Amino acid sequence: MQLQDIGEFNFIDSINSDVINDASTVVTGIGDDCAIYKANPEMEQLVSIDTMVEEIHFSLRYMTPYDVGYRLMTANLSDIAAMGGIPRQVVLSVAAPKALDVAILDEFYKGIKDQCKLHHVNILGGDTVSSQEGIVLTVTIIGEVPRGTAVLRSGARPGDIVGVTNYVGYAATGLGALSYGYDGYDMTILGHQRPDPQIELGQALRMHGVTSMNDISDGLASELHEIAKASGVNIVIDEQIVPLHEETYTLAKSLGTRPVDYALYGGEDFQLVFTAPKELEDTLKKIGQITIIGQVLEGNNIVQMVTKERKIETLEARGYNHFGN
Ligand SMILES: Nc1ncnc2c1ncn2[C@@H]1O[C@H](COP(=O)(O)OP(=O)(O)OP(=O)(O)O)[C@@H](O)[C@H]1O
Ligand SMILES: Cc1ncc(C[n+]2csc(CCOP(=O)(O)O)c2C)c(N)n1
Ligand SMILES: [Mg+2]
Ligand SMILES: [Mg+2]
Ligand SMILES: [Mg+2]
């Protein structure tokens, strides 16, 4: 069955179940001109939007529709995580060709709803339109954080340490393995298809007093530059300590590429990169899943890496650039 067979309104009716996971904050959900939600007056509201375009952000050759929905939510939840926030509400827009199989959209929604349920987030509404070609999915997410405590990109100070969560370069390894049709990359392929946002770690890092934070959507080099620029500092990291998965080393070896480049320029890991006062190092390590990879220096926007050969390499602000080549 195609979207044109059931029409816009039947489609909207069909998704209006399992959308509220925390009824205490909802006055009116799907079904009116606007949704109404209740914000906690003790908290500040976080709001962010991200879009996923077919064949740019995902391909149904490499991902199931369920994965696409799941990862769409992850990309948005990840921006809330990067502020140390608690995700609460989403509204989402779907543009799809009239001839799209309804079963594909149902699967997108399963992925979206499962991820929302996991994080107690409500789907308050959305928009459904037709496109001439390809699927475009957009989510606006609302989260909250106790007043004045959100972790910005601008708080890094000389002397701070730089840390990351889990592995970086993980999703790019999986995408590479998929595009070359390689076997034996199960973990990183899952990292591309079903990445998870670091919501709990983001909140833990905020509560421990990290000074700046960013999520890794475009690649470590680009995210470090954003922190360096916003904070007016230099950053130096050590190639030898950047946490890469075994499969990243294997893929790099077989393609003759440098392993750390997957972390620096790959993106879509949805891990967190942060800075913190040096005296927090031991406490932060005790949280687990955290590696200290460098330090913040006085300066203005320069990001460098000490290579395995112990040479200093200046990193460009190069990550994924939609209008680059
Ligand atoms: N078209 C736009 N109009 C207004 N503001 C924008 C627009 N595009 C981006 N921004 C703003 O620019 C800043 C950086 O956005 P960007 O999308 O790079 O961040 P991000 O969502 O963390 O990264 P990514 O999109 O790679 O996940 C944000 O404050 C965002 O709101
Ligand atoms: C089919 C396919 N081709 C390429 C990529 C890689 N890719 C696309 S967008 C992006 C950065 C984040 O984008 P944004 O800044 O919009 O959040 C990256 C690394 C992919 N995921 N799927
Ligand atoms: Mg964005
Ligand atoms: Mg972000
Ligand atoms: Mg984003």
Residue 11, pLDDT score: 82
Do 181 and 89 have their domain in common?
Answer: no
Residue 321 pLDDT exceeds 80: no
How much is the pLDDT for 122?
A: 98
- Is 267's C-beta closer than 6 angstroms to any atom of ligand 2? yes
Give me the percent of the chain exceeding a pLDDT of 70: 100
Task: Report residue 55's pLDDT band, with 50, 70 and 90 as the boundaries.
Answer: very high
The answer to whether residue 239 is domain-embedded is: yes
Residue 3 pLDDT > 90, yes or no?
A: no
- Counting ligand 2 atoms within 8 A of each CB, the residue from 56, 173, 269 with the most, and so the one to mutate, is 56
pLDDT-based confidence at 10, cuts 50/70/90?
confident
Q: How many domains does the chain have?
A: 2
Own/partner pairs for 30-35, CB < 8 Å, 24+ apart?
A: 30/123, 30/124, 30/125, 30/126, 34/125, 35/89, 35/91, 35/124, 35/125
* Claim to verify: residue 168 and residue 279 sit in the same structural domain: yes
Looking at this protein, which amino acid is placed at residue 253?
K
pLDDT surpasses 80 at 120 = yes
Binding site for substrate: residue ranges? Answer: 57, 268, 320
Quick check: is 129 in a domain? yes
Mean pLDDT of 237-262: 97
pLDDT at residue 63, rounded to an integer: 92
Q: What percent of the chain has pLDDT over 90?
A: 92
Predicted pLDDT of residue 203: 98
How far apart CA 317 and CA 25 sit, in angstroms, is 40
More confident residue, 6 or 264: 264
CA 215 to ligand 1: nearest atom: 22
Q: Both 61 and 124 in a single domain?
A: yes
Angle separating helix axes 199-208 and 65-81, nearest 10 degrees: 10
Please write the tens of the pLDDT for every residue from 122-142.
Answer: 999 999 999 999 999 999 999
Q: Does 323 fall in a domain?
A: no
- Ligand 1 atom index nearest CA of 48: 31
Residues 67 and 213 in one domain: no
Same domain? 135 vs 254: no
Domain end marker among 99, 126, 146 = 146
Domain assignment of residue 73, yes or no: yes
Kindly state whether residues 109 and 163 are assigned to the same domain: no
258 and 229 in a common domain: yes
Q: Do both 54 and 132 map to the same domain?
A: yes
> Which of 146, 172, 204 is the endpoint of a domain?
146
| Tens digit of each residue's pLDDT (9 = 90 or more) over 210-241 | 999 999 999 999 999 999 999 999 999 999 99
Residue range 263-316, pLDDT digits in tens: 999 999 999 999 999 999 999 999 999 999 999 999 999 999 999 999 999 999
- Compute the distance from residue 50 Cα to the ligand 4 centre, in Å: 9
Confidence of residue 325 (pLDDT cuts 50, 70, 90): low
When pLDDT is averaged across residues 62-84 and rounded to a whole number, the result is 96
Task: Specify if 230 maps to a domain.
Answer: yes
Q: Which residues are annotated as a binding site for Mg(2+)?
A: 33, 48, 50, 79, 127, 215, 218
pTM: 0.95
CATH number at residue 301: 3.90.650.10
Please indicate, yes or no, if residue 294 is contained in any of the structural domains: yes
In-domain check, residue 234: yes
Question: Of 102, 131, 146, which one is at a domain's C-terminal end?
Answer: 146
pLDDT in tens, 180-190: 999 999 999 99
Q: 114: domain CATH number?
A: 3.30.1330.10
CB 270 within 8 A of CB 75: yes
Q: How far apart are CA 179 and CA 150, in angstroms?
A: 38
Helix (H) or strand (E) holding 45: strand 43-53
pLDDT for position 59? 92
Say which ligand is closest to the CA of 262: 2
- pLDDT tops 90 at residue 7: no
Residue 227 shares a structural domain with residue 112 = no
Residue at 319 is within a domain: no
Return the ligand number nearest the Cα of 319: 2
Among 271, 65, 64, CA closest to 166: 271
pLDDT of 320 > 80? The answer is no
Index of the ligand 1 atom closest to the CA of residue 79: 22
Mean pLDDT for 74-93 is: 98
**Domain shared by 126 and 172, yes or no:** no
Q: Report how far ligand 4's centroid is from the alpha carbon of 48 (Å).
A: 9
- Domain, as residue range, for 48: 3-146
* Average pLDDT for 47-70: 95
- What is the whole-number distance in angstroms between the Cα of residue 77 and the centre of ligand 3? 12
- Cβ atoms within 10 Å of 314's Cβ, excluding its own: 9
Q: In this structure, are 235 and 137 located in the same domain?
A: no
Predicted confidence at residue 16, as pLDDT, reads 87
Residues 174 and 259 in one domain: yes
